[in-house]
Chains A and B, each alone.
Chain A
């Protein structure tokens, strides 16, 4: 058990091999492999979705550009927050992000070609658009791959921590790095990543707007309350491992105002951004826009709440 865990720990990062004393090419390759695994896990549902293929050429190029640019700080943030210990610094985070982006682009190109969604007779703009769009979720997946498919890379942390990792791997990876020392901002960032995780999968599909069209405002109201209730219950009341434990003298509404509601607003904002990026809101009035946002924020809220268990 111990050798395996150690090997896993030493190879935890995408590019960790190059920046670690004990690193080597083999470890670097394992890191890349994890990234590819994460990219597949996260992006395959989108790579096999017809709406995403269509969006490759439909999507407004300005919005695509914005999405591609916004992805970069997001990747750096994930690398910083989940990837390595703080000592690693922004240069390493940036390098890791670029590797993840590269994995995202390459894996998207290969898979789309495999599915024959990309063929040589297509225009270069269409091919580029399809790959670029898929590269965004795939690169996020590559980045998350490390924390989801392995432990969180604490090789030179203290022994206590290492033992913890070994016995209680998944849980420790979930709670270990990030939530402890960095406080409120990174809690919210984690929730945003979790919301993106589910939102990106669902936002391109027609069902999101179709559901919002089928709903009456009463259904939307119920969805809002269910989203907030589930979110709050999921993490704070049920107190899963890796989530908050409420101290006895803290009233429940403290956590609601300080964490659940901001988390829900984050899920709403990400839903709105995703719908706008994919052109689902064009020409829509205020109320239908809100309804679509509320529908998509439902999975977003679940993702945000679960983020601290998954990541």
Chain B
């Protein structure tokens, strides 16, 4: 593929905030190429041969972690994954000490997931390699937003002008924050649908319109993105019950009918069937993009790894 005149030059991918339209389009274009590669029988590229990718997961995640692992391996990198239980970090060395220790092992790229907002940024200040945020608390999850955009683009073409609804627990969702930012950059109309207790303060200023009535919010939407609702939010603190949430905010055929005919269904996973999404809708043959999102996840992560590895500073001394 011909090189674009604009070169991606970011050292870290900490959030969608900080990216511009050209960065995003570059990553999506490259992602498209890796989708093709991933569908071949032999899925190898040697772009990262000899480079070390370190996956550092302070918070459990099966799918994001394996997605990054597969992406790294397919690019030929040496991939090491560390599951660090948050409790053991708390007991002994500080998070920063952990980062300094790992940095001394000279990884080229560091993928970090942490349960606290801002933790990935904190770590990125202490290391020399490129850092990819694989989700920090309720803050950002940029590769999720990129893979969502790639999924939509491959199905509907230009994202500009589309109407996209993001529904559910927006307050605690890093997926929502990253997606609102990215969809705005690409010119989509974004709607946030959530009960008031799960709507972040100041969300009206995010470049999205807010709805508490899901049926109204879904009117004319091309894409409906559902968010995962954590079990602990349903104990009466934020919501009275799972049953009541499903009644008003669970995506079923009846509510989906309020959206544009043929509207597409997305979910970042893992799903709570019967809580935020009804099984029949989740498994909708033509309209559910949920498994496609997983496929795009590997491709977009390969794109991100390639670009950041190229931008990473060369550590060996000049000859």
A pairs with B: no
